[in-house]
Structure 1
Amino acid sequence: MQPFASLIKPDKTSKQPVYIQIANQLMELIRQGFLQPGFQLPSSRQLADSLNIHRKTVVRAYEELLAQGWVESRIGTGTFVAAHLPEIIPQSPLNETMGHIDSNKKAGFTFDQKPHLNRAVIKNNIKLHLDDGFPDPRLAPLEELSRAYRTQLLTGNPYTRLGYGDTAGSYWLRKELSLYLNETRGLKTSPENILITRGTVMGLYLASTGLLKSGDSVVLGELSWSSASNNFLQAGAKVIKVPVDEFGINTDALEKICQKQSVRMVYVTSHHHYPTTVALRADRRIHLLQLSEKYGFIIFEDDYDYDFHYLSKPLLPLAGADRSGMVLYCGSFTKAISPAFRVGYLVGSENVITYLAQLRRIIDRQGDMMLENAMAELLQNGIIQRHLRKSLRTYRTRRDYFCDLLQTELGDYLNFQKPDGGMAVWGEFDKNINLKELSAKAIQNDLFFSDGSENNSPAEIRNATRLGFASSTIEELESCVGILKKLLTG
């Protein structure tokens, strides 16, 4: 009796009831084969005395095991490990000092770990930051959004409001988005042309999974967003890179590729090329649309920061000039408000949107209907539009000040062009500067910026990175540049 009881170790300080602990530990002994089918368990009184607990606790533990089919009770005889369970040969002694595989850390089965998924997750909690080009959430209309969200939670028919909705997203938001996109971007959409997503990445994933087959060719710039290429690789596509210059992707190089092989999709950030921030020139826009019609490839247009253009009226998206239904247009509110609010949109022909909404259903039944309706209310009332106008003025001031600082304080160490729009500067550092070491030293001084390694390739170390200015105040930008200057000159 005593050796058996020593295997059961209830913790009376745990929040889990003691009877559940005992039942779980007995289950584990059965699973490991140390209690075989037909083994007679001690009586409830015996086990209670050995463990110094109340007999009713053991009775409840046995009842739990009985209910789950681990044990069986024989009237007048006692409680036994269920005879129908398979016999298990113990694999190792019940000695904690012998060590066991930690199944919480390592699975017992094997799987392929794809290298393109091995990317660090940005969880920046450092005081100062020259990030990838994020908005300043301190400017976001959070009070208006919280009121709208509360309204959605508390008013209307709760069965409808809090139940399942359309997999394409809130109809109200799609309606308001259609009006907004048609007015600001020259599109000609209806709500049926819009699928609400949880940001641009979901739009990319749905398009890659639903429209690409293994072996399809996808073309994107030599410098491009890694999340895009990773989605294409995950879908089994072959990624082909084309040169990028001061006018965006080289469409002549793209045409030469199309002449030699079939291309299924071209990914482009036409308004502000990622990461270099340059705009795709008008003649290349026309050429790209012509090539799409001629060779039948899909254009995935990622318009991640259309609303932030500082010189004049921004260039209209390719989607606005698409007459053949070849463009999928994607954007989100993460740049307009904050990355925490995962509301994006994918725009395309009705049959494609219907199909991708069906695909979305098997990975994410629907989005946050409360948030989507709250965003619809802010669009309808013009609150988001006013916020964007205010943010545009603020970000333009920060861009100008930051670029002046870079030129006067760090002009000997990096080259850059003042961006016409967006939230970041593309900085090319002197080749003698080890950007990875500089980034590491900056973190030690409470400043985060990317070391630019994801912009490199085996053939070329570009020694360049994006330096985001929008999320920092004038004073914070001064501190950032001051730290960089000290590290570079010190």
Structure 2
Amino acid sequence: MQTLASLIKVNKEDKLPVYLQLSAQLMELIKQGILPGGTKVLSSRTLAALVHVNRSTIVKAYAELEIQGWFETHSGKGTFVSSHIQELSKPKKNRPEIFVNPLKHAGFKIPRMPILEKPVLASIPGLHLDDGFPDARLAPLTELSRAYRTQLLTGNLYSKLGYSETKGSLRLREQLSIYLNATRGLKTNPENILIVRGAMMGFYLMVQALLKVSDHIILSRSGWIAARMAAEQSGVRISYVDVDEYGLDVDQIERICEQGPIRMVYVTSHHHYPTTVALRPDRRIKLLRLAEKFGFILFEDDYDYEFHYANQPLLPLAGADHSGMVIYCGSFSKTIAPAFRLGYLVGPEDAIEHLARYRRIIDRQGDAMLENAMAEMLEFGFVQRHLRKSMNIYRQRRDIFCGLLNSELNDYVKFRVPDGGLAVWTGFDPEIDLTKLSTIAASKGLKISDGKYLGVDHFSRLGFASSTPDELQKSIDILKKALRSR
């Protein structure tokens, strides 16, 4: 037992109290079988002398281990490793011994899912032509912080800080209903709305709650990678259709439907991701008729609806849905900033009720404080004023950016000035290696995407909204130098 003391190391400079260091090390020795169950341990006085600490420290360590059940004391006999830990002394393994760093590698098998191994988009400091993020510097943070503070300090805190409805804050659902009815031409009430953390959570809920493995769904060939990830991970069968200058190819959808049952079609009717094109009115009408005829769910992603510059945006499919086939999804991530995870699903009451039950499994409720603060922002018009202000700024930045692309990079790129959204869908000369280009640009201080995750060769999204005119000019200058030096 005295040699055992050599295995115990005390670091008096460590922030962890010495008695807890000792108890943790002794516990580990028991787990490893070095101290088998029933073993009598050194007296507190002896161990204190061997490891050069105060005896009271050893007493506290032993007491801690006894409280946790690792040690037991027998009057007149001393302190022992608990006898009920005998089975830990001689572990039996049915597999070869594998030595791993448990902080880096699990001892169990982790299934590999290539679809989940996609890069995560992130907002990083410095110059960037991102995926189409809003400028957080424009966000109404003062108004939001006041609204949030009001929620924290006033009213019945038992209810405000306790559990709330799984569907989300009733106040937010009431204000959202008013807002969506006025801006989208919907005819909702609060029971038609489920609050979620964002569009990704909304689509994931749809897949989990309304689809089964044998179901067949339709996605666009070039589309939101997160939707594809959720669908593939669930194991459903997926068919892909093309997107052209008028949006999703509805004729292709009809031909697929005629071959067998389709459970769901995912559509971004306005500002399709990544191409930014809008679904033409005749295709909208036909898509709704196909949903009614073949009985499939239409999941309508309200991507960048708020930011439309040419004219009034086309109203969502949900506003013309007379058969209850559409689930409409929107988010405040682009309205305010991506960090504020707040979105919503809109649909028939029974479907929303069903989705709310599933929501409990992954998220008992959302951020009630943020939801009520956002409700106040909507009620008093702060969100609406922010949108009017930011839309004018984003329109100006779009025009400046497209002008720079045309004047500075005309030999390298092709693009269409987008009617809306926060990014330009940009095609590069096929001779240009976008991966190499993004690496060169990064070395010069500019972050751009190589477009790999978008599924269309030689294309990338270049976001303009989150950069000032001066930053856009600097970004184009760097991109031009990178193109010349590749």
TM over 0.5: yes
Name the SS for the 1:345 alignment partner: strand
Q: Which amino acid aligns with 1:3?
A: T
What secondary structure is seen at the aligned counterpart in 1 of 2:207?
helix
CA deviation vs aligned residue, 1:371-429 (integer Å, no higher than 9, x gap):
11110001000110011011111101111111111111111111100000000000010
| Alignment-derived partner of residue 84 in structure 1 | 84
Which position in structure 1 is the counterpart of 2:357? 358
Q: Is the 8 A contact 1:309 1:421 kept in 2?
A: yes
Quick check: 1:402–1:477 contact (8 Å CA) kept in 2? yes
AA matched with 2:65:
L
Q: Distance in 2 between matches of 1:339 and 1:87?
A: 51
1:482 aligns to 2:481 (yes or no) = no
Q: Distance in 1 between matches of 2:164 and 2:337?
A: 24
- Work out whether 1:404 is the aligned partner of 2:374: no
> What is the one-letter code of the residue matched to 2:217?
V
- The residue aligned with 1:338 is 337
- Alignment-derived partner of residue 463 in structure 1: 458
- 1:462 deviates by 1.5
Q: How does 1:275-286 map to 2 (within 5 A)?
A: 275-286=274-285
Q: Could you say which residue in structure 2 is the equivalent of 1:95?
A: none
Deviation at 1:90, TM superposition (A): 6.3
Tell me the residue number matched to 1:257: 256
Q: Paired residue for 1:114?
A: 113
How far, CA to CA, are the matches of 1:25 and 1:369 in structure 2? Answer: 43
Letter in 1 for 2:259: K
Q: In structure 2, give the amino acid aligned to 1:78.
A: G
Q: Partners of 2:122 and 2:33 in 1: how far apart?
A: 44
Q: 2:375 is matched with which residue? A: 376
2:95 alignment partner in structure 1 = none
Do 2:43 and 2:79's aligned partners in 1 also have CA atoms closer than 8 Å? yes
CA distance in 1, matches of 2:172, 2:57: 55
Alpha-carbon offset, residue 100 of structure 1: 4.5
Amino acid at match of 1:405: L
- Report SS of the residue matched to 1:33: coil
Asked if the contact 1:34/1:90 (under 8 Å) is kept, the reply is: no
Within-5 A mapping of 1:220-299: 220-299=219-298
Once the two structures are TM-superposed, the CA of residue 2 in structure 1 deviates from its matched residue by 3.3
Give the deviation of 1:88 after TM superposition.
3.7
Residue number in structure 1 paired with 2:28: 28
- Maintained 8 Å contact 1:126/1:446: no
Please state how far the C-alpha of 1:237 moved relative to its aligned partner: 1.1
Q: In the TM superposition, what is the alpha-carbon distance from 1:81 to its structure 2 partner? A: 0.9
Conservation of the 8 A alpha-carbon contact between 2:275 and 2:425: yes
Identity %: 58
TM-score (norm 1): 0.96
Post-superposition Cα deviations, 1:23-55, rounded to whole Å, max 9, x if no partner, equal 111111111111111111000000011111111
Across the aligned residues of Structure 1 and Structure 2, the Cα RMSD in angstroms comes to 1.5
The letter of the residue matching 2:321 is D
In the TM superposition, residue 195 of structure 1 has moved relative to its aligned partner by: 0.5
Q: Which amino acid aligns with 1:479?
A: K
Give the match's secondary structure for 1:6.
helix
Partners of 2:404 and 2:473 within 8 A in 1:
yes
Question: Is residue 218–residue 239 contact of structure 1 (8 Å, CA) maintained in 2?
Answer: yes
Match for 2:468 among 473, 479, 488?
473
Say how many residue pairs are matched: 481
Contact kept? 2:30, 2:89, Cα under 8 Å: no
**Residues 126 and 447 in structure 1, CA contact (< 8 A), matched pair in contact too:** no
Q: Which letter does structure 1 place at the counterpart of 2:86?
A: P
> In structure 1, the residue corresponding to 2:362 is in which secondary structure?
coil
Runs of 4+ in 1 over 3 A off after TM superposition: 87-92
Tell me the distance in 1 between the aligned counterparts of 2:91 and 2:362: 38
Counterpart amino acid of residue 282 in structure 2 = D
Residue 96 of structure 1 corresponds to: none
Q: Secondary structure at the match of 2:7?
A: coil
Cross-structure match for 2:69? 69
Deviations 1:228-285 (A, max 9, x none): 1111112221121001110011110110000002111100111111100000001100
Cα distance change on mapping 1:304 and 1:343 into 2, 3 Å: same
Rounded to whole Å, the distance in 2 between the matches of 1:101 and 1:91 is 17
Contact 2:37–2:89 under 8 Å retained in 1: no
1:122-141 Cα shifts (integer Å, max 9, x gaps): 23424111111010011110
Question: Would the aligned equivalents of 1:319 and 1:329 in 2 still touch at CA under 8 Å?
Answer: yes
Pairing 1:176–2:141 present: no
1:10 positional shift: 2.1
Residue of structure 2 equivalent to 1:309: 308
Deviates more, 1:284-293 or 1:461-470: 461-470
Residue correspondence of structure 1 range 319-338 to structure 2 within 5 A: 319-338=318-337
Cross-structure match for 2:60:
60
Deviation at 1:89, TM superposition (A): 5.0
Superposed CA offset, 1:64-89 (max 9, x none): 11111111111111111111213345
Structure 2 stretches of 5 or more lacking a match?
93-97
Gaps of 5+ in 1: 93-98
Q: Distance in 2 between matches of 1:124 and 1:149?
A: 24
In structure 1, distance between residues paired with 2:227 and 2:424: 21
Work out the CA distance in 2 between the residues paired with 1:270 and 1:476: 31
Question: Could you tell me how far 1:455 is from its partner in structure 2?
Answer: 2.3
The one-letter code matched in structure 2 to 1:48 is A
C-alpha separation in 1, matches of 2:67 and 2:454: 59
User: 2-side partners of 1:262 and 1:174: how far apart?
Assistant: 34
CA distance in 2, matches of 1:13, 1:164: 43
SS at match of 1:87: helix
Superimposed CA distance per residue, residues 285-319 of structure 1 (whole angstroms, 9 cap, x where no aligned partner): 01100110011110100012111000111000000
Q: 2:133: which partner in 1?
A: 134
Q: Which residue matches 1:217?
A: 216
Measure the CA separation in 1 of the matches of 2:99 and 2:79. 30
* In structure 2, C-alpha distance between the alignment counterparts of 1:158 and 1:78, rounded to whole Å: 53
User: Are 1:50 and 2:50 an aligned pair?
Assistant: yes
> Could you tell me which amino acid in structure 1 is paired with residue 43 of structure 2?
S
Report SS of the residue matched to 1:84: helix
Deviation at 1:91, TM superposition (A): 7.8
TM-score, normalized by length of structure 2? 0.97
Contact 1:126 1:443 in 2 (8 A): no
Cα distance in 1 for partners of 2:272, 2:160 equals 39
Residues 272 and 303 in structure 2, CA contact (< 8 A), matched pair in contact too: no
Amino acid at match of 2:197: R
Partners of 1:330 and 1:344 within 8 A in 2? yes
The 2-side partners of 1:343 and 1:215 are apart by 31
